[in-house]
Amino acid sequence: MSKPIYDRVALIGLGLIASSMFWAMKRANLAGKVTGYARSQETRDTARRIGLTDRVCDSAAEAVEGADLVVLAVPVGAMGPVAEAIAPHLKPGATVTDVGSVKRHVIDAVAPHIPEGVHFIPAHPLAGTEHSGPESGFAELFENRWCLIVPLPGTPDTEIARLRALWEAMGSNVDEMDPDHHDLVLAVTSHAPHLIAYTMVGVADDLRRVTDSEVIKYSAAGFRDFTRIAASDPTMWRDVFLTNKDATLEILGRFTEELFALQRAIRQGDGQMLFDYFTRTRAIRRGIIEAGQDTAAPDFGRVKPRE
Q: Which of 93-107, 158-172, 272-286 has the lowest mean pLDDT?
A: 272-286
- Domain covering 181-293 assigned CATH 1.25.40.10 in the classification: no
Selecting from 3.30.360.10, 3.40.50.720, 3.40.50.300, 3.20.20.80, what CATH number does the domain 6-177 have?
A: 3.40.50.720
Quote the pLDDT of residue 78: 95
What pLDDT shows up at residue 149?
Answer: 98
Task: Give the tens place of pLDDT for each residue, 6-56.
Answer: 999 999 999 999 999 999 999 999 999 999 999 999 999 999 999 999 999
What's the chain's average pLDDT? 90
Residue 305 has pLDDT above 50, yes or no: no
Cβ atoms of 168 and 28 within 8 Å: the answer is no
Domain positions in the chain are 6-177, 181-293
Average pLDDT on 171-176 reads 97
Indicate whether 2 pLDDT > 80: no
The span from the CA of 182 to the CA of 106, in Å, is 12
Q: Which of 193, 202, 118, 100 is nearest to 154 (CA)?
A: 118
Neighbours of 294 (CB within 10 A): 12
- Strand order across the beta sheet in which 6-12 lies: 55-56, 31-37, 6-12, 69-72, 95-98, 119-121
pLDDT at 217: 73
Q: How confident is the model at residue 204 (pLDDT cuts 50, 70, 90)?
A: confident
Instruction: Read off the pLDDT of residues 153-171 as tens digits, 9 standing for 90 and up.
Output: 999 999 999 999 999 999 9
For residue 134, give the nearest of 28, 21, 26 by alpha carbon. 21
